[in-house]
């Protein structure tokens, strides 16, 4: 899947979503949130997919390597796609730390 730009369809109502990654940014200073934010445009609507910093630290501790920006963006895009396909709302979302760790474990 191209995490920078992708299309998906809701299984609930057939809505087609066009998603585009705008940027990846640390949210501590922005929102006083301990997350890395992936900002997407979904059919023109701004959506933030937040990834908890704790998951990044735990991944580095377990694997001895940090999660690259491209890997983080791909995890956020995958979560967004899965949520939209399942009929979830086009709104800001937080990816659970365990989901980030599972996806990171499968990254090369």
Predicted local confidence at residue 29, as pLDDT: 62
CA distance 85 to 65: 31
H helical segments located in 2-68: 28-31, 53-63
Sign of CA dihedral 47, 77, 39, 62: positive
Per residue in 56-67, pLDDT (tens digit) is: 899 999 888 888
How many domains is the chain partitioned into structurally?
1
Domain that holds residue 21: 5-106
- DSSP-assigned beta bridge partners for residue 42: 19, 45
CA 26 vs. chain centroid, Å, equals 13
Comparing C-alpha atoms, which of 39, 32, 102 is closest to residue 67? 102
Look-up of token digits 């585009």: 20
Average pLDDT estimate for 42-47:
98
Taking only the tens place, the pLDDT of each residue in 1-19 is 788 999 999 999 999 999 9
């Amino acid at each position: 899947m191209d995490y920078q730009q992708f299309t998906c369809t809701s299984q609930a109502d057939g809505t087609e979503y066009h998603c585009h990654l705008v940027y990846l940014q640390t949210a501590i200073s922005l929102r006083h949130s301990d997350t890395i934010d992936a900002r997407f445009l979904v059919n023109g609507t701004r959506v933030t997919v937040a990834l908890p910093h704790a998951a990044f630290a735990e991944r580095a501790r377990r694997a001895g390597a940090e999660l690259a920006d491209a890997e983080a963006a791909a995890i956020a895009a995958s979560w967004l796609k899965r949520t939209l396909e399942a009929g979830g709302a086009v709104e800001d979302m937080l990816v659970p730390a365990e989901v980030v760790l599972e996806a990171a474990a499968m990254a090369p």
